[in-house]
Amino acid sequence: MFYGYVVVLAAFMIMAVSSGAVLSFSVFFSSLQQEFGWTRAVTSAAFSLNMIMQGLLAIGVGKLNDRFGPRVIVTVCGLLLGTGFVLVSRVTAVWQLYVLYGVLIGAGVSGGPVPLMSTVARWFRARRGVMTGVVMAGVGFGTMLVPPFAEWLIRTLSWRWSYVVVGAMLLVVIPVASQFLRRDPGQMGLVSLGSEVTPAAGGESPSATHGLFFSEALRTRQLWLLVLAFACFGFTAHSVMVHVVVHATGLGLSASTAAGLMTAIGACGVAGRIGMGSLADRHGSRWLMVMLFGLLSISLFWLSAARDTWSIIGCACLFGFAFGGLVPLNSHIMAHLFGLRAHGALLGTSGLAVGIGSAVGPVLTGHMYDVMGSYTVPFEICGVVVAAAALLMCLVKPLAPSRERPVSS
């Protein structure tokens, strides 16, 4: 069996538990408000700080992965992530939540998407899109399973013990799964799936030395268009992920039904990640991204007007499919445009953009709710922002031949 599939399975497990845990913040939202009396803007600021920390570390983590590989990086980050969850169970003041959830957990979760997507891109030349989609489908499975599990723990035990149990799970699963990761096939005397060349001297995969240097990619118009588009994506996607459960309960849905929206988002996200990854392998990723940004915008305008249970579930399904489908296409289009030489650093750059957007979106959305008493206008603004991302993607063109280096894609 090609060892790349072992890497994919390990990465899938890591993404499932880490993303599911972090995105369960919306399930804890009401419990934190009830215990401490914080406003929605103050509470959601913890998630925003988390996203800022992820974004600030994304480029550095990507560069470290380009050089050393993911095993040590993901292990250390997994320990930080699990420890952070356990410690959040002891918070008594908002500054403690900001330090633990924003800084410590943010640092821990930074070792997930960028190193794992970049690693999988090195192992697969053929089927790169679908394999990246499988890994990022872990986000969907995690969103399906962990938030409802956390909500059950909150009802059965308490929100504090729920954080302890989830943290213990992270401390076991991530370090163990990380031991199966390898940076590229050259380290094992192999070549990437679909490659017809032999490993380079010294165990370096040939694909790892092809493409633009990071400094060269920074001077291209294409990279900055992608960065702006993914900042819009982060603003929109995480505004919804933080506020959708408390929004649904405010409309009269039960706590378990509202938490079930995360399951719907996760399930449809799995379909989006795998399906769009497969289509990208055959048709490219640019126009798929335009379409998915458009669907994401439609889901936000629909959510702003939805009031009954089935309409909200329908919004969640459409949102989850588009949200899920966009995630693996980020890695795919970076490899296609710029190659794999600095793939981790470039994914880190887009991760920084997502982090900035994700930091601003949830707090602004929470503040507008505190002022207006409704999510209608905030969700409409999110729909406009992500529609702008679709327009930006229309402007992304292939690099001129004079700017290209040999690219494995």
Query: Which segment, 122-126, 292-296, 329-333, is predicted with the most confidence on average?
Result: 292-296
Torsion of CA 271, 273, 274, 278, to 10 degrees: 130
Among 252-261, 282-291, 363-372, whose mean pLDDT is lowest?
A: 252-261
Residue 201: band (very low, low, confident or very high) from pLDDT cuts 50, 70, 90 = very low
User: What is the reported pLDDT for 10?
Assistant: 95
**Maximum Cα–Cα distance across the chain:** 63
The pLDDT of residue 77 is: 92
Mean pLDDT within 301-316: 90
- Provide the 8-state DSSP code for 203: G
Q: How far is it, in rounded angstroms, from Cα 202 to Cα 233?
A: 40
66 band by pLDDT with thresholds 50, 70 and 90: confident
Domain 4-186+206-403: CATH class, spelled out:
mainly alpha
> So what's the pLDDT on residue 197?
56
101's tokens = 């959830």
> What is the reported pLDDT for 74?
93
292 pLDDT band, cuts 50/70/90, is very high
**265-284 average pLDDT score:** 82
* CA–CA dist 259, 250 (Å, integer): 13
> Does residue 240 have a pLDDT over 70?
yes
Look up residue 100 and give its DSSP letter.
I
Q: pLDDT band at residue 202, thresholds of 50, 70 and 90?
A: very low
d(CA 338, CA 318) in angstroms, rounded, equals 31
90 burial type by CB count under 10 A (0-12 exposed, 13-18 middle, 19+ buried):
exposed
Reported as a pLDDT band with limits 50, 70 and 90, residue 195 is: low
- Is the confidence at residue 90, as pLDDT, over 50? yes
pLDDT tops 70 at residue 251: yes
Q: Angle, to 10 degrees, between the axis of helix 309-338 and the axis of helix 343-372? A: 150
Res. 187: pLDDT tops 80: no
Predicted local distance difference test score (pLDDT) of residue 174: 95
Span 337-350, pLDDT tens digits: 888 788 778 888 88
44 pLDDT more than 50: yes
Whether residue 381 is predicted with pLDDT greater than 60 in this model: the reply is: yes
Confidence of residue 214 (pLDDT cuts 50, 70, 90): confident
Q: Tell me the C-alpha distance between 241 and 248, whole Å.
A: 12
With 70 as the cut, is the pLDDT of residue 403 above it?
no
3-state helix, strand, coil in the chain (%, to 5): 80, 0, 20
How far is 239 from 360, CA to CA, in rounded Å? 9
Whether the Cβ atoms of residue 340 and residue 21 lie closer than 8 Å to each other:
no
Average pLDDT, the chain: 85
Residue 119, φ and ψ in degrees, nearest 5: -65, -45
**For residue 118, what pLDDT is reported?**
83
Average pLDDT of span 133-150:
85
Highest mean pLDDT among 37-41, 366-370, 378-382, 398-402 belongs to 378-382
Residue 288 and residue 133 in contact, taking contact as beta carbons nearer than 8 Å: no
- What length is written for the chain? 409
Q: Is the pLDDT of residue 386 over 90?
A: yes
Give the C-alpha separation, 26 to 1, whole Å.
40
Amino acid at 131: M
Q: Please state which of the ranges 105-114, 150-159, 266-275 shows the lowest mean pLDDT.
A: 266-275
Q: Is the pLDDT of residue 272 over 90?
A: no
d(CA 23, CA 33): 17
Torsion of CA 112, 62, 358, 356, to 10 degrees: 160
Instruction: Give the confidence band of 81 by pLDDT, cuts at 50, 70, 90.
Output: very high
Which of 209 and 7 is assigned the larger pLDDT? 7
Section 145-159 average pLDDT: 90
pLDDT classification of 206: cutoffs 50, 70, 90: very low
pTM for this entry: 0.73
For residue 147, pLDDT over 50 is answered with yes
CA distance 38 to 240: 19
Report residue 16's pLDDT band, with 50, 70 and 90 as the boundaries: very high
391: CB partners within 8 A, 6+ apart: none
Q: Is residue 15 very low, low, confident or very high in pLDDT (cuts 50, 70, 90)?
A: very high
Mean pLDDT is lowest, of 125-139, 162-176, 198-212, 352-366, for 198-212
